[in-house]
Structure 1
Amino acid sequence: MRADARRNRDLVLRAAQDAFAEEGLAVPLDRIARRAGVGPGTLYRHFPTKEALFEAVVHERLRQLVGHARESAAAADPGAAFFDFVAHLVREAAPKQDLVDALGGAGVDVRTAVSATAAELRDEVGRLLAAAQRSGAVRPDLTADDLMTLLAGVLHALRAHPAAPMDERLAVSVLCDGLAARAVR
């Protein structure tokens, strides 16, 4: 890909990330093109459908989360790294309608297109969880699938009532308190 084409693609992706995060899937592609400072033809050359653009946005967000999870795994304190990552994931995903839709299985069906990256994220989260469990910071009876389900539930709860949104910090605090080893009864 030529440098100008790559730059235009990146501009469209960034504009789409912001637009999907603010407005969800209903945002018109022409509005995304305007936000990116490119013409509609440029947008359609790179992403022939809204679904293709949405998939690319979700794929990029998941790759960023995978990278953050890998960085977290290198931390000296596995428990703190795990809880920091959980908070980061919720903080990043909660206000972004597109990622929440993908994680919750709502909206456009992008599961097949991003399934490899989503599986990679689950694997990295599983490694963080296992290390935190070995360190004694996280309850031992929790599986990675359990954790992903809980995270999806928290993300859904955070956007369930837009008129009276739940406090994100409270949701993370309650979730992390329940995940802590001391919560096992």
Structure 2
Amino acid sequence: MNTSHLDAKPMRADARRNYEALVAAGQKVFTRDGVEAPMDDVAKEAGVGRGTLYRHFPSREHLFVAIMKDRVDLLDAQARELLNSPDAWQAVAQWLRLYHRSAAEHGGMSMRVGACLTDDRSPMAAAGAPMKASFARLWAGAQTQGTVRDDVTADQALTLVSSLPRYTGEDAPAQPYLDIVLQGLRA
């Protein structure tokens, strides 16, 4: 994410309010209408103009980064915590379940985020780099224990889980898909 304007100096109070309103509006609009909802809907929901929206978030992906920041930080912390688990397979499975749940809130976000994580030019890849590195260490530990396939990389596992369908309704639970993938990843 291009945060140079955020890192250089603190935001004015009104700019901070607009930023936070846009992130909250993005969450609401993307949850309600999916990640392909028009960006103008986000600006309208936040009560700001298009210029304000694009000044803070030059692209849809930049807004995704802001929306997903807390989740990405949580996933990174969880992966680092699980590194000390005696059962590496259980640690990997637990983390991948959390990763899967984290992306289910916004329709279509998981696949977009998963694709962005593997594109080094992407703002999401930069924002998710610490999380990916922590998961890669967790995955490598499981490979060392021989509990996950040695012919699958951590990035491939993330991409696979990111591509799974996510249903929020009771009629079509997504859990069976994840269970199938987890079985396939196990050594």
Question: Normalising to structure 2: TM-score of the pair?
Answer: 0.68
3-state SS of 1:39 partner: coil
Q: Contact between 2:80 and 2:134, CA under 8 Å: does it hold in 1?
A: yes
3-state SS of 2:141 partner: helix
Match of 1:168 among 166, 171, 174: 174
What is the RMSD computed on CA atoms of the aligned residues?
3.5
Residues 23-51 of structure 1: CA distance to partner in whole angstroms, max 9, x if unpaired? 23442344324544x33365455335555
Q: Closer, same or farther in 2 for the Cα pair 1:12/1:131, shift >3 Å?
A: same
Mapping of 1:23-62 within 5 angstroms?
Answer: 23-36=33-46, 38-40=47-49, 42-47=52-57, 50=60, 52-57=62-67, 61-62=71-72
Residues 14-73 of structure 1: CA distance to partner in whole angstroms, max 9, x if unpaired? 22023224323442344324544x333654553355554345435665444334333433
Q: Closer, same or farther in 2 for the Cα pair 1:123/1:8, shift >3 Å?
A: same
Asked whether 1:177 is paired with 2:187, we answer no
Partner in structure 1 of residue 90 of structure 2: 80
Q: Closer, same or farther in 2 for the Cα pair 1:69/1:4, shift >3 Å?
A: farther
Match of 2:99 among 89, 113, 118: 89
1: distance between equivalents of 2:56 and 2:121? 20
1: distance between equivalents of 2:151 and 2:54? 48
One-letter amino acid matched to 1:84? Q
Q: How many residues align?
A: 172
Q: Closer, same or farther in 2 for the Cα pair 1:113/1:131, shift >3 Å?
A: same
Match of 2:112 among 92, 101, 123: 101
Question: Normalising to structure 1: TM-score of the pair?
Answer: 0.69
1: distance between equivalents of 2:175 and 2:183? 12
Identity, % of aligned positions:
36
Match of 2:78 among 47, 68, 78: 68
Stretches of structure 1 that go unaligned for 5 or more consecutive residues are: none
Partner in structure 2 of residue 151 of structure 1: 161
Stretches of structure 2 that go unaligned for 5 or more consecutive residues are: 1-10
2: distance between equivalents of 1:82 and 1:173? 13
1: distance between equivalents of 2:37 and 2:95? 30
Q: Contact between 2:88 and 2:142, CA under 8 Å: does it hold in 1?
A: yes
Q: Contact between 1:125 and 1:144, CA under 8 Å: does it hold in 2?
A: yes
Q: Contact between 1:58 and 1:102, CA under 8 Å: does it hold in 2?
A: no
In the TM superposition, what is the alpha-carbon distance from 1:85 to its structure 2 partner? 0.8
In the TM superposition, what is the alpha-carbon distance from 1:174 to its structure 2 partner? 1.2
Residues 138-179 of structure 1: CA distance to partner in whole angstroms, max 9, x if unpaired? 2344322332342244x2xx15x99xx853111111111222
Partner in structure 2 of residue 10 of structure 1: 20
3-state SS of 1:65 partner: helix
